[in-house]
Structures are given as C-alpha cells and as structure tokens.
Structure 1
Amino acid sequence: MEDTQRPEYDVVVIGGSIAGAATALQLLRGSRGCGCGMGDGCGCAELDKPLRVLVIERQVEFGRRVGESTVELSTYMLTRILGLTRHLNENHIVKQGFRYWFTNPDARDMGKSTEMGGRYLTRVGSFQVDRAELDKEVLRRVEALGGEIWKPANVRSLTLEEGGTQTLTVKVGDEERTVTSRWVVDASGRQAMIARQRGEVEPIKGHPSAAVWARWKNTLDFDSPDTIARFPELGKGMFGTRHTATNHIMGDGWWAWVIPLKNGHTSVGVTWDQRIFKWPRTQGSTLAEQLRSVLETHPVGRALLEDAELIESDVHVRRNLPYQCKTAAGDGFLLVGDAAGFVDPFYSMGLDFLSMTSTSGVDMILTERRGDCIKAKLARHNDMVGKSIPRWFEAIFRDKYFYMGDFELMRIAFLVDIGLYYLGIVRPPYKNGKMAIKDGMFYAKAAKPFYLYMRFVNHRLAALGAERRKRGTFGRRNAGQRMLVPGFAFDSSIVKATARAMIYLLKLELSEGWRCWRPKRGADGSIVLRDKDKPDEMKTPTSLQTAG
C-alpha cells in the first residue's frame, strides 16, 4: 500500500476506560518490545515502527462505575502485564477475598447469621479499586507512551472493511472528524457498538438477572471493636480482616455486594434473578429507598446501613445483564471486555474476561502488524470467546440463584468454584506466563475436565435447591454456622477444598439427592420451579423504576 493510502492510525480504540486503555497500553508496549523475556511467543517482538494508536473517550473525566473488585486473574493482568502494582497499593485497597452471610428466621442479628469466608489473610493478591482513579491512571500511561487521546469524543458512524481500512466519523467537542485505521478495537462496554451495528448481540437465555446499586458513607466497619462487642460471635476464630473483603449478603434469589473504596465510601448493590425475586416497587418510593428495603430484610444489611448515608447522585439500575456477541473479532476489528459479552457480577469475573479478550486480541493485532498471516489466530480467538462465555455460564451461573441463598448448598459451590478457578484458570499464567490467559474460560483442553465437573456440581446443586424449596427445608442451616477456610493457593489447599466439597455433596446426594435426579427443565435448559416453591412475595417481575 502506498504511503498516501496508508490509514492515519494502526489502531483506533473506542472507549478509554480500563478495557480500552489496557488494550491500547499492551499494543503500544508490544510494538516496542515489552521486555517480558518470552521472545516472539508473547506477541511483543518490536515492530519496525511503533504503532499509531488513537483512543476515543466520550467523557472529559471518568466517573465511578461497577467493576470495582478484581480477582486473581485480572490482578495478574493489572500487575504483571500492565505494571500497576505500585499504583494499586498506593491508591486502592488490598482485597481480602470473598465473604458470604446467610440468614433465616432464626438469625436475629448479624452475630447469628451464618458466615462463610477466609480465616486468614489471602495468599494470592487482588484489589478493591476506585474505577475512576484506575481508568485515569491507565489512560495516562497510554498517553505517556505516545498514544493519542481524543476526549470528549463520540463515534458517530463506523464503516468496517474486512482486511482493509476502517473509517470512523467522530465528533470531538463541536468538531466532526473523519479518521481511518487498519484496526478498530471496541471497548465501549455494554454499548457494544460494533456488535450492535452488526446485529450480533444475543441475550443469554435462562438467566434474567438485573441489578441496582449505590454508594454510601458511614457504613458498618466489620472489624471495629464496637462491631465485635455488639456481635461477640465475630471475634472468635477469625484472624484476618472482614472489612476489606467483598462481603456478600445472601438472600433468596438475590445477593448484594459490599465493596469498600479507598476514600471511605462503600459500593453496595443488589443483583437478582427475576424469575424468583420480585423487586419491591412501593408506591412513591425512590430507587434508593427500594434498595435499602431489600438490604434491610437481612440482619447484616440492617447492621451495614444502620448509620449509613446515601450518596444521592450515585444510584443506578441495570436490567437484563447477560449477553454474548456472536463474532468477537474480524480482520480489522476486535471486541474486548463487556463489548464482547457479560454473564454475571457474582465472583467479580468481568475484568477476567477483559484480560482474556484483550491479551488474545493484542497478540493477533501485533502478529498482523508484523506482516504474518492471522487467519488461524483469528479463528482461534473467535472460537475461544464463543465457547468461553457458554462454559462460564453453564459451569457457574445456570440456575445458581435457585440455591445461592442456602448455606449448605452454597458452601459446596464456593469450594468447587474457587478451587477449580484457581487450578484451571489462574494457575496457568502464574506458572507459564501471560500468553496462557489466551486460553480463555475453560477453553484449553487441560481445563475442560474442570468445566465438566463444575457444570455437574452446579446443575446438581440447583436441583437440590429446587427440591429443598418443595420440601420446605431451604436455608435450614442459615443461622449460627461459621465456615472459615484456610484460604486458596497453588498447592494442596485446592485439592483439600474440592475433596471437602465432594464429601459434602455425596452426603446430600445420599440423604436427599435421590429425590431429584431428573428435575423438570424448560426449553432453555433451566430448572422449572413451581409457583408454590418460590418465595412468598414472588410474582411476575414488575418493571423497574429508573434512577434519578
């Protein structure tokens, strides 16, 4: 191609938050040689000329957003690939894993609620992040490496040409510009600009979830002397910290996240399955009041918000959470993070999916920029993303809300899900380097047995949950129990956790599982609950009141 016909940019990234900025940063570093010591296999061999990268961001300043809790795989990307360790330690909170709180009518207060989580501090790092600060820092590093930033700017139109030049019309302030590029990276989040333009956004059937969230001041300090004095049960046998964990308040058909932020605010949100939980839409109440009313049905929620003050301008709602995009990449475009799909916020794995789509996509773009054929890598990338989301859903989330409010069932899921996540998803990059992230969610051949076992366990727990509802024993041990585990690491702790879960499951199968080996399933593959087995207040879901 003649220089006069050469696109103005090698890559244009739509969206400057963590998905777009992380991808741009990897591209810029990769085109200069990243110094990772893995040679050509890492996709970062230095190019003849550094890539010309443009990032288009619609906001002048980043606001807060969900995705505030990282887990072990995304932490690997943030620290060992993007080099953000110092920034994370200085500006965010070191996370102390997951913690879960269950209740039933016998749990009169927080001290009587059943608790599940770590006994000690975590051994493999993760963080609670203020997304506005994190997004700003990564984008700053993109600019420092020579990336060009346009903001506030909006893409008005996009014309894709397979294997050719991509053309975008962009409004920058009051000016409209036309720009050309060899590649376009869609990091627009749920807007999913490219997939929607191509008509390829597909809802994930069998998981009609929704979420409402807000941020608060002066919420409960889980570790304060006052809290321990008030609930003395919490002072026994626990040697880590509860407050900086992601605390989960577990309801029937819903759960809430509690995520502390560096400035003293706390992010609190409820996610629910619309088949089995009815959002309270009281006449004249605000969305924030409705959120509070749900949280206060749980003793931990009542304690959490007892002295809390709502940040009035920071209340949000989102419906129909899960979706998948049919094509994750073409010869000239790439979808990363939420622009490629999303399943559920439980377990905080959204940034993991960003890590997978971004790392694989960056390798593909750098390969093409070196002049090599990308046909095989493009096919593999689409196959990886196309299989990762359904496997992620089936192994972890199908009908999970049917049983997640029952401690006896959820403890099995917790041990299996986290243990095999460590073994099949997190361990490979820590052991073999960053390109293992390209193997996606249970996509690698070695990870498939973990997927099959997790899917089996999840399906059995959902069937047991439905049976317990029928027999009136759901949540029978949600009061007065405390399961504190030593933690997870890349050692025998994984085997011990999964073996412990297997024993729990075997006991349940022998005592009650024989009643539900063939649960009734609907056309979408999900278990069908009888109306009389649902929570008393559950009816056909109503439409939500919008925020603001």
Structure 2
Amino acid sequence: MSEKILESYDAVVIGGGPGGSTTAATIATAGRSVLLLEKTAFPRYQIGESLLPYMAGLLDQMGLLQEFGENGYVPKWGAEFTDAGGNFHQVDFADQGPGRHAQTFQVERAHFDNALLDHARKAGAHVLTQAHVDELLFEGDRIVGVRFRRGGESHEVRAAYVVDSSGRSGKIAKAYGLRRSVDQLRMVAVFRHFTGLDENANPGREGGIQIGNHPDGWFWEIPLWKDTISIGTVMRKDHFQGRDPEEVFDNHRERVPRIAERLKGTEASTRISVEADYCYLSDQLAGPGWFVVGDAGCFVDPIFSGGVFLAMVTGQEAARQILAALQGTTTDQELRESYESFYKTGYDTYFRLIHAFYEFNFNFGAYRAHMPDSINEKDVSLLLAGDFWSQGNAMARLLR
C-alpha cells in the first residue's frame, strides 16, 4: 500500500505482533481502513514459540493454515510433562476427539510474526514499521487518534477506534493505569536458543514440547527448526535473586533427565536472556474509542503456551466489535461489555490453569492425579489445546 498517510482511518492499531496483525487484517478484510503502527523493524526477535492446536483452527479461518504448514515449522502433536525423577506424562492432542485439529506448530517467532504482518498488509491494512506512538489524542473522555513519529517526521491521525496491541509496552493500559501485577506469579525466566539438535536423542515424541519440573521451578524445551531448540528455565524470584543467570540455567538444565538427554550434542547459539516480574492483568479492557488486545492487557506465565493464541483471538474479537460498531449494529456500551466478557473469560480460565499447576509445585503429573475421575483425557487435551471458553469442559468448570 502507498506510504501516503491519511488524516483519518476507521481504526488505528498500535503494535504489529500477532494480536495487532490479526486485528488489522480482520478489519481490512472487511473493506475498512486501518493503520497499523509498529515501533520496531520486522522481522524482530521474540520469545514464545509454541502454538496451541486451537491456533490451527484460527489460522484456518484466516486462510493461512496451508501456507503456514508449508513454512517448515516443526509440527506439534502434544506435550510431555516430566520431572526430576524421570517420570513423565504425555498429553496427546488427538485425545480432543474427531473434528478437532490434532496438530499445530512450534515456530520461530521472528519468522511467524513477520508472516502475520505481511498477511495484514496483503489484506489491505496500511502497515508502518519503525513508527513510534508518542501520544493518544482525546476529545473529552474518548480516544480519537494518535500522534506518532517516523523517519524524523511527526504525524497526527484520527480514528473511530484505537486498538492497543503493543504488548508489555501497553500504551493505553499505562495511560489509564489499568494494570496490576499478579504477586502469586512473581517469576523469573532465563532462556536461550541451542543448535545442533538431533531428535534421535529425544526420549519423547519428535518435535514435541517438553515441560520439566523440579523443586525450584520448571523448564521448557521447544524445537524451532529441525536443528534449533529454545530452552528456558522459570523460577520464583527469591530463588534467582543474587545468582548468576548462566549458573542457574546450567544447573536447572541438568536436573530433569529426559530434558538433559534430548540436549546431548547441542550448543548455545544465543546469549542468555532474562525476564522478571512479567505477570499482570487489567480490570478494564475497552473504553470510549479504544480496545486493549492480548499482552497489552494481560500477560500470564508461558507454561501452557497460550499467549500467542489469546493475543490473536482477542485481536480478532476486538476487530469484530469495531466492525459491528462501524456498521451501527451495536452501541459502544454493548460492544465494550461483550468484548470484556470474552477477553476475561479466556484469560481467567488460563490464569486458573496456571495457578493450579503452581499449587502442585510445577508438577502436572501430580495435578492430573489429583483431578476427580469425572475429568478424562479428552477434557485435559481440549483445555491444553485452547478450549478456554467452553461450558462443556469438565476441567474448565472445575477451575472456574
């Protein structure tokens, strides 16, 4: 699309990650004008590489499933939970039953996010990268646009709706002071990528995610490409405080036998990265002229890989509400209430799942054994696949 910037759009989306790209693509596909402003140059590095099976359904709706399936992403058929004693529990997504997507992907986010941004651009969204939003524009209590900088020039654009999909930056969330931290999940993650992966050394299922637990935390292993794997260790903040990240990472990596076995012959290909105090939520997610999508409103521990799916599905829902408002089929109050109900139900179910895992000291096998007999493998598989809104899932009902 032309670089000519219009004075006004039907919607302005702040942030070009999966949530923002999905929002913009959905609005543009409906024939409405949308400007997407992303502060960085793409592709860019991002953590969070394992996708849920419900993501395959969403990509199918967007007409992207076949294309993404041909991108060389590692197929994911389930998840393994293993402990320091070598015990393990496999969750197979085929247990969801017929008519469901039993396979999804492990992805390199830089590649995946860039493909989604390209999709938004092809759908007709005006996409600008390296565009920094400096200010939200107001008329009374309603957000009516943004002021942003790009290439040394300042621009002001108006919009019927502004969507904050800026992730942890949270332009709107911070402006309104919407966020509060989740003190029970004050965690630290230490992570890096390794190359030289040989899945012949994997004691579990080829291409699968492994979640390992030990008394001080949990560990992830996610294959990104045939020879590359993402590895991270997550622990409570007090366990990490004052310690060397490399030493903690190496120590935790060796604690879980099935994870250590899979890593034989690999070597680090990136530097150690550290994220701390990253869990938060927002009580308000929409208001006069604005919506908050995905991580801009809530961020949850990555243990069950729900972040990208929740960002995209809330982005899609925000777009649907905006389209309904532009068509005059709903009031502002109705669309805000509908959106917040959808967003909060999904994130609340996901939060509760993670709290339960932590209450059992990071041991999913112990948690599974504690569940009542009325919960079967289908309920477990569906919930871990992304079934966060279902009223018919016995495990979801238990959590709520």
| TM-score, normalised via structure 2 length | 0.86
The alpha carbon displacement at 1:118 in A equals 5.2
Aligned to 1:357: 314
Correspondence 1:59 to 2:40 = yes
Larger radius of gyration: 1
Partners in 2 of 1:398 and 1:259 — Cα distance? 22
Report the alpha carbon displacement of residue 408 of structure 1 after superposing the two structures with TM.
Answer: 5.0
Who is 2:116 aligned against?
Answer: 138
Alignment equivalent of 1:249, drawn from 212, 219, 222:
212
CA spacing shift, 1:311–1:190, aligned 2, 3 Å: same
CA shift for structure 1 position 87: 2.2
Q: Which moved more, 1:415-424 or 1:300-309?
A: 415-424
**How far, CA to CA, are the matches of 2:187 and 2:63 in structure 1?**
32
Is 1:68 the equivalent of 2:49? yes
Please give the alpha-carbon distance, in whole angstroms, between the structure 2 residues aligned to 1:406 and 1:149: 43
Aligned to 1:158: 136
Alpha carbons of 1:210 and 1:176: their partners in 2 closer, same or farther (altered >3 Å)?
A: same
Distance 1:65 1:165, change over 3 A: closer
The aligned counterpart of 1:186 is: 164
Cα distance in 1 for residues equivalent to 2:377 and 2:165: 28
In structure 1, the gaps of 5 or more residues are: 1-5, 32-49, 105-112, 229-233, 235-240, 429-440, 456-548
Alignment correspondent of 2:298: 341
Letter in 2 for 1:377: L
Do 1:116 and 1:411's aligned partners in 2 also have CA atoms closer than 8 Å?
no
**What letter corresponds to residue 12 of structure 1 in structure 2?**
V
Single out whichever of 338-347 and 85-94 deviates more from structure 2: 85-94
Higher strand content, 1 or 2: 2
Where structure 2 has 5 or more consecutive residues not aligned to the other structure, the ranges are 1-5, 96-100
Task: Give 1:212's aligned amino acid.
Answer: V
| In 2: Cα distance, 1:280 partner to 1:340 partner | 27
State whether residues 324 and 389 of structure 1, in contact with CA within 8 Å, keep that contact through their aligned partners in structure 2.
no
CA distance in 2, matches of 1:421, 1:151: 40
Cα pair distance change 1:427/1:382, threshold 3 Å: closer
Residue in structure 1 matching 2:150, options 137, 156, 172: 172
Q: Is the 8 A contact 2:196 2:266 kept in 1?
A: yes
Match among 102, 113, 122 for residue 83 of structure 2: 102
What residue is the counterpart of 2:261 in the other structure?
303
Mean Cα deviation higher: 328-337 or 351-360: 351-360
* Helix, strand or coil at the partner of 2:342: helix
For 1:261, the equivalent position in structure 2 comes to 224
**Matching of residues 120-139 of structure 1 within 5 Å:** 124-139=102-117
1:290 alignment counterpart? 248
Kindly indicate whether residue 323 of structure 2 is the aligned counterpart of residue 323 of structure 1.
no
Correspondence 1:279 to 2:236: no
Matched, 1:386 2:386: no
Mapped to 2, the partners of 1:70 and 1:281 lie a distance apart of 33
1:86 paired with 2:67, answer yes
Letter in 2 for 1:115: F
Aligned counterparts of 2:55 and 2:92: Cα–Cα separation in 1 = 23
Name 1:401's counterpart in structure 2: 358
Q: Give the alignment of 1:213-252 within 5 angstroms.
A: 213-219=191-197, 221-222=198-199, 224=200, 227=201, 234=203, 242-252=205-215
Superposition map of 1:455-466 within 5 A: none
Q: Aligned in 2, Cα 1:189/1:347: closer, same or farther, shift over 3 Å?
A: same
CA root-mean-square deviation:
3.0
- Give the whole-Å Cα distance in 1 for the aligned partners of 2:151 and 2:25: 25
Amino acid at match of 2:157: V
Cα-to-partner distance string for 1:334-364 (whole Å, 9 max, x where unaligned): 1111112022211111123224322321111
Aligned match of 1:15: 15
Once the 2 structures are TM-superposed, how far is the Cα of residue 413 of structure 1 from its aligned partner? 6.6
SS in 2 for 1:341: coil
Alpha-carbon spacing, 1:424–1:132, altered in 2? closer, same or farther (3 Å): closer
The amino acid across from 2:53 in the alignment is: E
**Distance in 1 of aligned mates of 2:56 and 2:154:** 38
Is the alpha carbon distance of 1:88 and 1:189 closer, same or farther for their aligned partners in structure 2, counting shifts above 3 Å?
A: farther
Distance between the aligned counterparts of 1:184 and 1:162, measured in 2? Answer: 15
Q: What corresponds to 1:462 in structure 2? A: none
Contact 2:53–2:93 (Cα < 8 Å) also in 1: no
In structure 2, the partner of 1:420 is 379
1:116 matched to 2:89? yes
Q: Report if the CA contact (8 A) 2:189-2:275 is conserved.
A: yes
How much does 1:322 deviate? 1.6
- The 1:405/1:377 distance shift into structure 2, 3 A limit, reads closer
Q: What is residue 453 of structure 1 aligned with on the other side?
A: 398
One-letter code aligned to 2:280: Y
- The 3 A distance-change label for structure 1 pair 366 and 273 is same
Change (3 A) 1:294 1:317: same
Partner of 2:326: 369
Distance 1:342 1:407 in 2: 21
DSSP-derived class of the 1:342 partner: coil
Cα distance in 2 for residues equivalent to 1:178 and 1:156 = 10
